[in-house]
Amino acid sequence: MLVARFIHILGFTVWIGGMFFAYMALRPVAATVLQPAQRLPLWAGVFGKFFFWVWLAVALLFASGFHMMALLGKPPAYALVMLALGTAMLLIFAHVFFSPYKRLQRAVAAQDWPAGGAALGRIRFLVGANLILGILTMCVGALGPLSG
């Protein structure tokens, strides 16, 4: 159980921490310092690197989460809430990866900055939603066992 918890903590730290950094630190600076011709390729490259780690984190989170739930027998309610929130986050991320991120990549390759900006705006909204869900999930995981 200790190894599974470590893997779980590592997974959500990478995913949620990466979203927090991108949304709260990199995004505002890139928006004020860089023009679209520099900003959009930067984001396409950042997402290309980060999304590999997100897919890995997702695999580790679900594997470790299901393992811990199996060890518990009947999982407590908070674990099921975490599973529901994590599944919602996965679906949002998969949509980002397969839809607006692909549009961003195509727009950057074609140097179509308005289309790239629209795709980035959609990604920004969805990452913000996922960040909120991720923080909520962490709170459920931290406080759930204390709720009795």
The residue extents of the domains of the chain are 2-147
Judged against a pLDDT cut of 80, whether residue 148 lies above it is answered with: no
Give the closest residue to 116 by CA, choosing from 44, 12, 24, 25: 44
Q: What is the pLDDT of residues 9-68, one digit of tens each?
A: 999 999 999 999 999 999 999 999 999 999 999 999 999 999 999 999 999 999 999 999
Q: How many whole angstroms separate alpha carbon 123 and alpha carbon 101?
A: 7
Exposure of 124 in the CB half-sphere (CA atoms within 13 A):
16
Which pTM value belongs to this model?
0.96
Q: Which two tokens stand for residue 9?
A: 């903590």
Q: What is the pLDDT of residues 72-90, one digit of tens each?
A: 999 999 999 999 999 999 9
- Ranges of H-type helices in the chain: 2-21, 27-33, 36-72, 77-98, 100-110, 113-143
